[in-house]
Amino acid sequence: MAWIEVFVSALCPFAHRVRLVLAEKGVQARETEVDLRNKPLCFLEKSPNGKVPLLDHEGRLVWVAAVIGEYLDEVFPDRPLLPKDPHARARTRILVNFADTRLYARTEALLHSADPRAGGSTSSKIRLQIMAEIADDLRTLESQILTERPQDGSYWLGGEFSLADLSFYPWFEQVCVLERYLGFQMPAECHRLLKWREAIMARDAVRAIARPPEFYLEAYGRLLAI
């Protein structure tokens, strides 16, 4: 049995993505929780960028969630999460990049703007602009990407579950925070996205490690103090 340790933080969606990949693969790993406001020396000595997630696989370090996902898929090929077809594989990577560079990046900026300990302040106008950009990203997913997928399944690639699904899901698990504390509203026309989320939530591995909205609302309520 391979020895694996993964450094995570409870509220980090990228760390949750890695936890989901491990769960889908049925791979056991030691989880080490990192306080991102007071990072322990043992973590900083290992981590090249000081961020979670960080994977330690028998002394070999891998970081960046998207890279860790592909690494785990190669090292543990059972229950593959990357398609064999080159075009489908490329499409998966495009979707992961969309999630990371648009949806998560904008959400991080939005949450950072609301954190009283982040330093500085962001006007309500800019926050509204960021939320409008997030809503546009969701409309893009709904109107372009989901409508172009094969119609033989519930996932991003149709019937084939992939890293793309796992990359987006943590955002949807935490969207309640944006709705409760920042007034964000899911675009009313995003029916396919909601059905996709229901399909992901129904998976055994996702259900096994999912956290309820109350968990995130309580934790972010303390952080944001709003």
Question: Order of strands, edge to edge, in the sheet holding 30-33?
Answer: 30-33, 4-8, 54-57, 60-63
Residue 30: enclosing H or E segment and its boundaries? strand 30-33
Strands 60-63 and 54-57: antiparallel
Which of 78, 96, 225 lies closest to 156 in space, CA to CA?
A: 96
In eight-state DSSP terms, residue 102 is: I
Coil, helix or strand for 32?
A: strand
Q: Taking phi first (over 0 means left), then psi (-120 to 50 degrees means alpha), and beta for anything else, what does residue 62 get?
A: beta
Residue 139's contacts (CB-CB under 8 Å, 6 or more residues apart) are: 187, 189, 190
Q: Across the strands, what pairs with 63?
A: 54
Of the residues 12, 42, 176, 190, only one is catalytic, namely 12
Give yes or no: 42 in active site: no
Give the Cα separation of 63 and 91 in Å (integer): 22
Give the Cα separation of 138 and 140 in Å (integer): 5
Residue 56's contacts (CB-CB under 8 Å, 6 or more residues apart) are: 4, 5, 6, 7, 46
Question: Looking at the annotation, which residues are catalytic?
Answer: 12
